[in-house]
Structure 1
Amino acid sequence: MLIETFDHIVPAVLLGGILDLVFGDPHGLYHPVQLIGKFITFFEKLFRKIFPSGKTGERTAGVLTALCVMAVSTLIPVVLLKLFYHVNFWLGFACETFWCYQILAARSLRDESMKVYREVKTGDLGKARRAVSMIVGRDTEKLDMTGVTKAAVETVAENASDGVVAPLIFLMIGGAAGGFFYKSVNTMDSMIGYVNDRYRWFGTFAARLDDVLNFIPARISGLLMVLAAQICGNDGKNAMKIFKRDRRKHASPNSAHTEAAMAGALDIRLAGDAWYFGELHRKPYIGDPIREIVPEDIPRANRIMYGTAVLAFLLSAAVRVLILVLV
């Protein structure tokens, strides 16, 4: 009865989320995102050969690459799940649950950021910089311990949206196939969505598409993080204040929402200038320095991120059930 009521998606996402929280990324198994990355590389090479270099040619190649990657990444799980469910419902359900598990990244985000926390606690700046370099895109050679800690907290905050909440929303919309659709766009943004000589025109469509897909999830994530902060015993009132004030202080239309909520919740200041590929990028601060950031803010940020994930599941599941009942 439960499976029929929820159209099997809610329990699949629930079990996948539990597996993620308990076990984290299943190391040693081939991850679907790696396959998506291979699709991106294949289609990029293919369409770059077909279309000439230059603004128009590269943009056309980039659009076709993005469309093909999205289509293949979504159709493969659609076809496989249809086949598995046809053979046996529980085979299909098990596969869908496992893919939901792989798509979510709450435990992995916690584990990687806590590696930074442990190195910071030992006082070894070199090891702390190396640990944080695994989860951030900025240069870490010039970071002091405070900078390393801040970078880890920022990563937990930002990835709470595109690594946890947004995938949850798309999983609830379309099951594992919906999750793979989102992951294909998000992976393209991380691989080709750069404003540099190689991808300035080629990656424009993928980057803009990622902005569109994350527009609503980013704002939902920020609001849920404010609520999670209050539930976890942090400064929920200040989280809402900084969220409303600073959530647009980023070049990306989506990146600062959870960062602002996290900064307010912890009563600290995040963001500011950062080095990327040897070049200093001037960025505004997010939050107020009510107190200095400390290593314990990393586990605090993770607790808020976990709380945000639970609230996101409850909200998205409630919306899906309501739609099913009304329809």
Structure 2
Amino acid sequence: MFLSLTLCALLIEAACGYPDAVFRRIGHPVTWIGALITALEKRLNRSGSVATLRACGLAALIMIVGVPVLLALLVQSALRTLLPAPLAFMIEALLASTLLAQRALYTHVHAVLLGWQQEGLAGARQTVSQIVGRDPETLDRAGVIRAAIESLAENFSDGVVAPVFWMLAFGLPGVVAYKAINTADSMIGHLSPRYRDFGRAAALCDDCLNIPASRLAALWLCSAALLGHCSVTGALAAIRRDAAMHRSPNAGWPEAAMAGALALRLAGPRHYAGTLVADSWMGNGTEDARPDDLAKALALYRLACLIQAGCVTALLAGVWI
């Protein structure tokens, strides 16, 4: 059941994405989860001891996950009770597709390439600032392109592979739970003074949930490199040498794979809010990333998405046979 649901959700999202008109009218499930996180953070993240803040953060995380999952279970039950099975299945797949980001991720990263082509460095800086947190004014052409490629690689794991993995494992409630935790991590799982203790549970939980997806994302990118005439040996070497050196326990895997496949150096020292973050380099290629490299990264990403969908299809065919 979950194989069919996941494949249908992937196909729907690839074909339609999440329409802007729908977003303007009702928002998006992630924005609804974000509103819940904001409300809980304001109420529970107050002064106190480290133990108190961590306990409040854990309680908040339980509600952040529990409320959306409970709603998903209620909707799922209502669909299966009130509607014919084929119609209930298609609506469930449509709902699940809203929690995948393969089309949206391509669109947002491709916008950086369009910004460069239409307005040069200023346009590229403006568009890349919408998908990364680093200071855009500190980025030259190569820095902008590297930032876009890094975002593409990392979010391929977080926004595409991980939701698919947890949907395959637990269906609609599984992907809802994952997106709730991942959204919590992005909003409160920081090491800033405000969130260091309160967001600790969200950050740790997100790190654990993304372990399988980050490794799978690297595998899909290596497979895409093999089929897409990029350097699969470079991707494998970069993963083996550099992935564990990234400050994130998971982001280094897809970033190293992408860097090695394209013969680039990604990650490395970066500026966030005026502060230099010294991170290790992924890959041993050139730092001088060019717009053509971003075009190649986007092509590699699309091929990796197709490989993932193909694997889901093969698993489903194996079950039917």
Q: Which stretch has the larger CA shift, 183-192 or 223-232? A: 223-232
Secondary structure of the residue aligned to 2:167 is helix
The corresponding residue for 1:78 is 73
Q: Distance in 1 between matches of 2:186 and 2:317?
A: 33
Deviations 1:44-86 (CA, angstroms, capped at 9, x unpaired): 233346xx52311111110000011111111111111111111
Change (3 A) 1:266 1:208: same
Q: What's the counterpart of residue 271 of structure 1?
A: 267
Give, in whole Å, the separation in 2 of the partners of 1:259 and 1:85: 41
Structure 2 equivalent of residue 143 of structure 1: 139
Matched, 1:169 2:165: yes
RMSD over aligned Cα atoms: 2.0
Q: In structure 2, give the amino acid aligned to 1:45.
A: K
Q: 1:186 to 1:132 in 2, by over 3 A?
A: same
- Displacement of 1:319 in angstroms is 5.4
Distance change >3 Å, CA 65–CA 320, structure 1 → 2 = farther
Count residues with an aligned counterpart: 316
User: What's the TM-score once normalised by structure 2's chain length?
Assistant: 0.92
| Distance apart, 1:217 and its partner CA | 1.1
The one-character-per-residue Cα deviations of 1:285-319 (angstroms, maximum 9, x if unpaired) are 11122584210222211222222223333445655
SS at match of 1:254: coil
What SS class does the counterpart of residue 103 from structure 1 fall into? coil
CA distance in 1 between counterparts of 2:209 and 2:316 reads 18
Partner of residue 211 from structure 1, selected from 184, 204, 207: 207
Which residue does 2:15 correspond to in 1?
22
For 2:138, what is the secondary structure of its paired residue? coil
Distance 1:234 1:108 in 2: 24
The match for 1:47 is 44
Letter in 1 for 2:32: L
The counterpart of 1:178, out of the listed 162, 174, 178, is: 174
Match of residue 64 from structure 1: 59
Identical columns (%): 33
- Does structure 1 conserve the Cα–Cα contact (< 8 Å) formed by 2:259 and 2:285? no
Higher mean alpha-carbon deviation, 248-257 vs 24-33, is at 24-33
SS of residue paired to 1:141: helix
In 2, are the aligned partners of 1:272 and 1:284 still within 8 Å (CA)? yes
Instruction: State the distance in 1 between where 2:21 and 2:53 align.
Output: 36
CA distance in 2: counterparts of 1:317 and 1:277, whole angstroms: 43
Match of 1:304 among 300, 303, 319: 300
Partner of 1:288: 284
Matches of 2:233 and 2:138, distance apart in 1:
34
Compared with structure 1, are the counterparts of its residues 291 and 209 closer, same or farther at alpha carbon in structure 2 (3 Å cutoff)? closer
Change (3 A) 1:109 1:318: same
- Say which SS state the counterpart of residue 210 (structure 2) adopts: helix
Within 2, Cα distance between the matches of 1:122 and 1:26?
A: 25
Distance 1:139 1:15 in 2: 38
- Partners of 1:67 and 1:103 in 2: CA distance: 20
* CA shift digits 1:190-235 (9 cap, x unpaired): 0000001110100001000000000111112112211111111211
The structural deviation recorded for 1:91 is: 3.5
Q: How far apart are residue 22 of structure 1 and its match?
A: 2.3
1:252 corresponding residue in structure 2: 248
Give the distance between the partners of 1:42 and 1:14, measured in 2 at CA.
Answer: 34
How far residue 92 of structure 1 moved from its aligned partner, in angstroms, is 2.0
TM-fit CA distance, 1:173: 1.3
SS at match of 1:120: helix
TM-score by length of 1: 0.91
Deviates more, 1:291-300 or 1:257-266: 291-300
Gaps of 5+ in 1: 1-6
Q: Tell me, in whole angstroms, the C-alpha distance in 2 between the residues paired with 1:46 and 1:280.
A: 32
1:80 alignment partner AA: V
- Unaligned stretches of 5+ residues in structure 2: none
